[in-house]
A = this chain, B = another copy of it.
Amino acid sequence: MAGGILLRLQFKLGDEPPPSLPSDGRKLPSKIHQRTRSDHASEVAEDYVEAIADAIDQHGVCRAVDLVKHFAVTHATVNNTIKRLERDGLVTTAPYQPVELTAAGSRLASQSRRRHEVVEAFLKKLGVSDQTAAIDSEGIEHHVSKETLGAMKRVLEQGWPE
């Protein structure tokens, strides 16, 4: 039995290609772009649950037409996207009814909103206009790692480094 477990461990370790950690300083470009692609794969879901949560906070309910206006896309596009969100367990819907967030959707919305707020506030603190901070943060937020988010929070709470 223990042998079986050991075998699994060995396989897992051997699976990691070249450890990359004891690097000679060279970059690992491949992994970098994989992360960017993975960020983009979750981006629409994050923006939608955030918008849905906002609409519910402001109007008590989120209708598809709210998302149509928010994202400046067509009703058909919103419908398709909501179907994917439902498939992925983030929202529930019924025909002609408002969109509801699942527990998972609600959690993702809170996290996304918090991260978005931090990034936007950080850009403002950097000195860019409110308008630019709003625009740039909408894309940047999805590529900000925990570590970078922490650095931005630190600046907001404790001022600039050094």
Contacts and interface: CB of A to CB of B under 8 A. Distances in A.
Contact of A70 (B30, B126, B132, B144): B30
Contact of A123 (B34, B47, B148): B148
A137 to B, nearest CB: 8
A148 B136 contact: yes
A127 interface: yes
Interface string A144-162: 1101100110110001111
Interface of A is mostly: helix
B161 A148 contact: no
Given A30-B70, A126-B152, A136 B145 contact: yes
Interface in A114-154: 123, 125-129, 132, 134-136, 138-140, 142-145, 147-148, 151-152, 154
Interface in A4-41: 27, 29-36, 39-40
Contact of A33 (B32, B72, B140): B72
Contact of A31 (B40, B72, B148, B154): B72
A109 B140 CA distance: 21
A2 to B, nearest CB: 35
7 contacts: A27-B134, A34-B72, A127-B154, A129-B147, A135-B145, A140-B144, A160-B162
Interface of A: 27, 29-36, 39-40, 47, 51, 69-72, 123, 125-129, 132, 134-136, 138-140, 142-145, 147-148, 151-152, 154-155, 159-162
